[in-house]
């Protein structure tokens, strides 16, 4: 029988298809992992911003999670938007039922500036969910919330990655520099050493969903058994090409291109 790697995302939705669950599933599919999804919140949003959000009940969230763990293999999973403490609690307890690498994208604010998690619940995420992760992937503003200080330089990014692992108990931390000026560099700290992942900065306004896509790509590679540094390296390449070939769609920040790696796309758009 053919073996397939199974990746799960637990996140909110984006009907415009660039971020959230939709971006995650596209990424899993593109990287040849079998994609599964559990919805936390149905979000009304597009490239210009968030219009509203309907958070699912704890019971219904748990029912979806159990539907997965009672029936399907999970080789790696990620979480994205988890809007409130009660959903975080449900997920935190359910995590005991799966034995797979867990990547947390600590989604707090959409690129449009709209909040995606209640402010007072950010502390719960940090205290109860971060210690259960194999990897946390904060951008600069999220890193500032997690470590409680300003991040202005690459040295600050590295120091924060160490704090997230040593003091907050994450398995590893990937602090992403997309929001800093200069090169697009991310630092991974796995508790033992640092790894640096760099790409050129692409001049594109269309970066809606880059964080979701990046963490989903890492999850896909982990589901296939890659070691963490290799998974991040491959995922960085994937997200860079997705930004390079991103789409001018919508009136705001357009979506990245999840099928950028396909040969025909290179031929068509290079």
Q: Which stretch binds ligand ATP (CB under 6 A): 68-76, 79-87, 205-213, 218-226?
A: 205-213
Of 64 and 257, which CB lies nearer to ligand ATP in the complex structure?
257
Minimum CB–partner distance for residue 60 and ligand ATP (Å): 27
Contact between 100 and 76 (Cβ < 8 Å): yes
Pairing state of beta strands 102-104 and 184-189?
Answer: unpaired
Q: Which of 161, 169, 166, 226 is nearest to 196 (CA)?
A: 161
What secondary structure does DSSP assign to 64-85, as a single string?
Answer: HHHHHHTT---SEEEE----SH
How far apart, in whole angstroms, are the C-alpha atoms of residue 107 and residue 97? 23
Minimum CB–partner distance for residue 139 and ligand MP5 (Å): 8
Q: Which residues, in sequence order, are bridge partners of residue 6?
A: 34
How far apart, in whole angstroms, are the C-alpha atoms of residue 44 and residue 166? 37
Q: Rule CB under 6 A: which of 178-197 touch ligand ATP?
A: 178-179, 184, 186
How far apart, in whole angstroms, are the C-alpha atoms of residue 243 and residue 153? 23
Minimum CB–partner distance for residue 137 and ligand ATP (Å): 7
Q: Which stretch binds ligand ATP (CB under 6 A): 122-130, 163-171, 204-212, 259-267?
A: 204-212
Of 12 and 171, which CB lies nearer to ligand MP5 in the complex structure?
12
Q: Rule CB under 6 A: which of 85-114 touch ligand ATP?
A: 111
How far apart, in whole angstroms, are the C-alpha atoms of residue 197 and residue 237? 9
Out of 25, 31, 43, 151, point to the residue binding ligand MP5 (CB under 6 A). Answer: 43
Contact between 261 and 30 (Cβ < 8 Å): yes
- Asked if 80 interacts with ligand MP5 (CB under 6 A), we say yes
Minimum CB–partner distance for residue 177 and ligand ATP (Å): 5
For residue 164, what is the enclosing H or E element?
helix 154-166
Return the active site residues: 176, 207, 209-212
Q: List the structure tokens of 10.
A: 């637990």
Phi then psi dihedrals of residue 6, to 5 deg: -110, 125
- Asked if 207 interacts with ligand ATP (CB under 6 A), we say yes
Minimum CB–partner distance for residue 2 and ligand ATP (Å): 32
- Supply the Cα-derived Rg of the chain in whole angstroms: 17
Q: Which stretch binds ligand MP5 (CB under 6 A): 95-103, 163-171, 178-186, 202-210?
A: 202-210
Q: Which residues, in sequence order, are bridge partners of residue 115?
A: 109
- Asked if 100 interacts with ligand MP5 (CB under 6 A), we say no
Q: List the structure tokens of 269.
A: 């758009």
- Asked if 254 interacts with ligand MP5 (CB under 6 A), we say no
Strand order in the sheet with 194-199: 34-39, 6-11, 76-79, 102-104, 135-136, 173-176, 184-189, 194-199
Q: Rule CB under 6 A: which of 17-46 touch ligand ATP?
A: none
Of 90 and 172, which CB lies nearer to ligand ATP in the complex structure?
172
Binding site for ligand ATP (CB under 6 A): 111, 139, 176-179, 184, 186, 199, 201-202, 204, 207, 209-211, 214, 236, 239-240, 243
Binding site for ligand MP5 (CB under 6 A): 11-14, 19-20, 43, 45, 80-81, 107, 110-111, 116, 208-212
């Amino acid at each position: 029988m053919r073996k397939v790697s199974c990746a799960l995302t637990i996140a909110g939705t984006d009907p415009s298809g660039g971020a959230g669950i939709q971006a995650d599933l596209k990424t899993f599919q593109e990287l040849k992992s079998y994609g599964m999804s559990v919805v936390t919140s149905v979000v009304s949003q597009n490239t210009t911003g968030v219009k509203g959000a309907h958070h699912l009940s704890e019971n219904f969230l748990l029912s979806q999670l159990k539907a997965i763990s009672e029936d399907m293999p999970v080789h790696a999973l990620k979480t994205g938007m988890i809007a409130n403490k009660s959903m975080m609690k449900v997920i935190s307890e359910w995590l005991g039922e799966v034995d797979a690498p867990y990547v947390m994208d600590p989604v707090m604010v959409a690129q449009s500036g709209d909040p995606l998690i209640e402010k007072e619940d950010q502390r719960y995420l940090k205290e109860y969910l971060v210690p259960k992760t194999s990897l946390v992937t904060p951008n600069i503003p999220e890193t500032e919330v997690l470590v409680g200080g300003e991040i202005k330089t690459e040295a600050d990014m590295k120091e924060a990655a160490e704090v997230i692992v040593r003091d907050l108990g994450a398995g590893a931390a990937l602090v992403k520099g997309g929001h800093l000026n200069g090169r697009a560099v991310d630092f991974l700290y796995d508790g033992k050493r640092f790894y640096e992942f760099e790409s050129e900065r692409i001049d594109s306004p269309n970066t809606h969903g880059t964080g979701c896509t990046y963490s989903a790509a890492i999850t896909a590679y982990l589901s296939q058994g890659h070691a963490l540094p290799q998974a991040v390296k491959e995922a960085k390449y994937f997200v860079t090409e997705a930004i390079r070939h991103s789409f001018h769609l919508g009136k705001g920040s357009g979506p990245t291109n999840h099928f950028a790696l396909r040969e025909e796309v290179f031929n068509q758009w290079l």
